[in-house]
Structure 1
Amino acid sequence: MDIESERRRLLDAEGGDGDPTGLMSEQEAYLSKVKNRMLYLATFASVLGPMSFGFVLGYSSPAIPELARNADPRLRLDKDQASWFGSIVTVGAAAGGLLGGWMVEKIGRKLSLMLCSLPFVVGFIIIIAAQNVWMLYVGRAITGLASGVTSLVVPLYISEMAHERIRGMLGSCVQLMVVLGIMGVYLAGLFLDWRWLAICSSIPPTLLVACMCFMPETPRFLLLQGKRQEAKEALRFLRGEGAPVEWECSRIEDAYAEQSSSFQMSDLKDPGVYKPLVIGIMLMVFQQMSGINAIMFYAETIFEQAHFKKSDLASVIVGLIQVVFTAVAALIMDKAGRKVLLTISGAAMAMSATAFGVYFHLTPKPPSTTSLSLLMQNVQSQAGEGASADLAWLALTSMAIFISGFALGWGPIPWLVMSEIFPVKVRGFGTALCVLTNWSMAFVITKTFQNMMDALTSAGTFWLFASMCTLSVIFTLVLIPETKGKTLEQIEATFRGTSGP
Structure 2
Amino acid sequence: MDAHNERRRLLDAEEGDDDPTGLTTEQDAYLSKVKNRKLYLATFVSVLGPMSFGFVLGYSSPVIPELSSSSDPRLRLGEAQASWFGSVVTLGAAAGGLLGGWMVEKAGRKLTIMFCSLPFVFGFTAIIAAQNVWMLYVGRMLTGLASGVTSLVVPLYIAEMAHERVRGTLGSCVQLMVVMGIMGVYLAGLFVGWRWLAVCSSVPPTLLMVCMCFMPETPRFLLSRGKRREAEEALRFLRGPDAPVEWECARIEDACDEQGSSFQASDLKDPGVYKPLAIGIMLMAFQQMTGINAIMFYAENIFEQAHFKESDLASVIVGLIQVVFTGVAALVMDRAGRKVLLVISGVAMAISTAAFGVYFYLMYRLHADLSWLALASISVFITGFAVGWGPIPWLVMSEIFPVKARGFASAACVLTNWGMAFVVTKSFQDMMTLLTSAGTFWLFSSMCVLNVIFTAAFVPETKGRTLEQIEASFRGTSRT
For the Cα contact (< 8 Å) 2:14–2:26, is it kept in 1?
no
Deviation at 1:460, TM superposition (A): 2.6
Tell me which residue corresponds to 1:448. Answer: 427
Tell me which residue corresponds to 2:240. Answer: 240
Say which SS state the counterpart of residue 464 (structure 2) adopts. coil
Tell me which residue corresponds to 1:472. Answer: 451
1:200-211 aligned at under 5 Å gives the runs: 200-211=200-211
1:434 is aligned with what amino acid?
C
Deviates more, 1:292-301 or 1:138-147: 292-301
- Please list the CA deviations of residues 337-393 of structure 1 after superposition, one character each: whole Å capped at 9, or x if unmatched: 00000000001111112222222333334xxxxxxxxxxxxxxxxx72xx1x1x333
Tell me which residue corresponds to 1:498. Answer: 477
2:78, 2:302 → 1: CA distance? 23
2:306, 2:289 → 1: CA distance? 27
2:383 is aligned with what amino acid?
S
Pair 223,329 (structure 1): closer, same or farther in 2 beyond 3 Å:
same
1:51, 1:231 → 2: CA distance? 28
Pair 71,454 (structure 1): closer, same or farther in 2 beyond 3 Å:
closer
Pair 470,59 (structure 1): closer, same or farther in 2 beyond 3 Å:
same
Say which SS state the counterpart of residue 364 (structure 1) adopts. helix
Deviation at 1:446, TM superposition (A): 1.3
Deviation at 1:24, TM superposition (A): 6.7
1:135, 1:231 → 2: CA distance? 43
Say which SS state the counterpart of residue 481 (structure 1) adopts. coil
Pair 28,10 (structure 1): closer, same or farther in 2 beyond 3 Å:
closer
Tell me which residue corresponds to 1:81. Answer: 81
Pair 115,266 (structure 1): closer, same or farther in 2 beyond 3 Å:
same
Deviates more, 1:187-196 or 1:86-95: 187-196
Tell me which residue corresponds to 1:323. Answer: 323
1:6, 1:340 → 2: CA distance? 35
Deviation at 1:452, TM superposition (A): 2.6
1:81-100 aligned at under 5 Å gives the runs: 81-100=81-100
Deviation at 1:257, TM superposition (A): 0.5
1:398, 1:236 → 2: CA distance? 48
Deviation at 1:81, TM superposition (A): 1.5
Pair 296,69 (structure 1): closer, same or farther in 2 beyond 3 Å:
same
For the Cα contact (< 8 Å) 2:321–2:379, is it kept in 1?
yes
2:264 is aligned with what amino acid?
Q
Tell me which residue corresponds to 2:437. Answer: 458
1:96, 1:303 → 2: CA distance? 31
1:288-303 aligned at under 5 Å gives the runs: 288-296=288-296, 299-300=299-300, 303=303
1:161 is aligned with what amino acid?
M
- Please list the CA deviations of residues 45-86 of structure 1 after superposition, one character each: whole Å capped at 9, or x if unmatched: 000000011111111122222222333322222222222111
Deviation at 1:200, TM superposition (A): 0.9
2:35 is aligned with what amino acid?
K
Tell me which residue corresponds to 1:226. Answer: 226
- Please list the CA deviations of residues 205-235 of structure 1 after superposition, one character each: whole Å capped at 9, or x if unmatched: 0000111010000000000111000000000
Tell me which residue corresponds to 2:281. Answer: 281
Count of paired positions: 470
Say which SS state the counterpart of residue 131 (structure 1) adopts. coil
1:485, 1:422 → 2: CA distance? 16
Pair 298,354 (structure 1): closer, same or farther in 2 beyond 3 Å:
farther
Deviation at 1:461, TM superposition (A): 2.4
Query: Alignment partner for residue 425 of structure 1, among 404, 422, 438?
Result: 404
Tell me which residue corresponds to 1:115. Answer: 115
1:297, 1:106 → 2: CA distance? 33
Query: Alignment partner for residue 388 of structure 2, among 409, 416, 429?
Result: 409
Give TM-score scaled by structure 2 length. 0.93
Tell me which residue corresponds to 1:179. Answer: 179
Deviates more, 1:69-78 or 1:128-137: 69-78
Deviation at 1:420, TM superposition (A): 0.5
Deviation at 1:269, TM superposition (A): 0.9
For the Cα contact (< 8 Å) 2:61–2:298, is it kept in 1?
no
For the Cα contact (< 8 Å) 1:127–1:195, is it kept in 2?
yes
Say which SS state the counterpart of residue 259 (structure 2) adopts. coil
Deviation at 1:284, TM superposition (A): 0.7
Between structure 1 and structure 2, the one with the greater Rg is 1
2:454, 2:12 → 1: CA distance? 41
Deviation at 1:312, TM superposition (A): 1.6
Tell me which residue corresponds to 2:217. Answer: 217
1:41, 1:472 → 2: CA distance? 34
For the Cα contact (< 8 Å) 1:359–1:394, is it kept in 2?
yes
Deviation at 1:454, TM superposition (A): 3.7
2:362, 2:451 → 1: CA distance? 27
1:343, 1:89 → 2: CA distance? 29
Pair 132,496 (structure 1): closer, same or farther in 2 beyond 3 Å:
same
1:20-419 aligned at under 5 Å gives the runs: 25-296=25-296, 299-300=299-300, 303=303, 308-365=308-365, 384=367, 387=368, 389=369, 391-419=370-398
Pair 193,459 (structure 1): closer, same or farther in 2 beyond 3 Å:
closer
2:280, 2:43 → 1: CA distance? 23
1:304, 1:10 → 2: CA distance? 60
5+ residue gaps in structure 1? 12-18, 366-382
Deviation at 1:296, TM superposition (A): 3.9
Deviation at 1:90, TM superposition (A): 0.6
